[in-house]
Amino acid sequence: MDDIDKDNLREKSSSSLSKLIKRIWYVSLAVGPTTTMLQGKFPFKEMFWIISISSLILAFSCAVMLFKKDFALVERILYSIATIVLLFMNPHWLDIPAYLTNDYRVVEGIPTEFEYRYPYKAGSYLHVKVQNEELNLPTNVPESHSDRWFVIHYLPNSKFIMDYKILSKQARKKN
């Protein structure tokens, strides 16, 4: 009788853990793409961490699902495919070492493209092309600055903007 109770207890705890892992996976799945869409609207450095950590949690929970016998083979395959696709779509997690070492890429120059874009429900952003590098800046840059000198610091894989300056013609001549 005691063995049956222990087996039932193990099944319940294992089932609860599986449900928790699934919930964590779904929350991470929702948070990552949502914050990616909103990063133009809320251009804070903290958004980088929210996106990166949610991607890492998603990958970790998927790895747990792969090795846990409670999940069916079909579930494991589907969760793995979804996780891999999302990790390729959101490469922010690849930039964690660059962020920690302040190893940013820098482009300088007058933009050859300067266009405000308004994707569906994702907020607006400013698309600029400087030295053949296409980047998305926050929308608080006035259109009158399109002919000014831009200095943009960004992360290499995700092209997440860490800092930018827009210099006037007078300030550029002083440098």
pLDDT tens digit sequence for 98-116:
999 999 999 999 898 888 8
- Please give the domain boundaries of the chain with CATH numbers for all domains: 2-97 (no CATH), 105-174 (2.40.50)
More confident: 104 or 40: 104
pLDDT of 6 over the 60 cut: no
Closest CA to 56 of 28, 82, 34: 28
- Mean pLDDT for the stretch of residues 24-30: 92
Specify the length of the chain in residues.
175
pTM: predicted TM-score of the whole model, two decimal places? 0.75
What is the number of other CB atoms lying within 10 angstroms of the CB of residue 132? Answer: 8
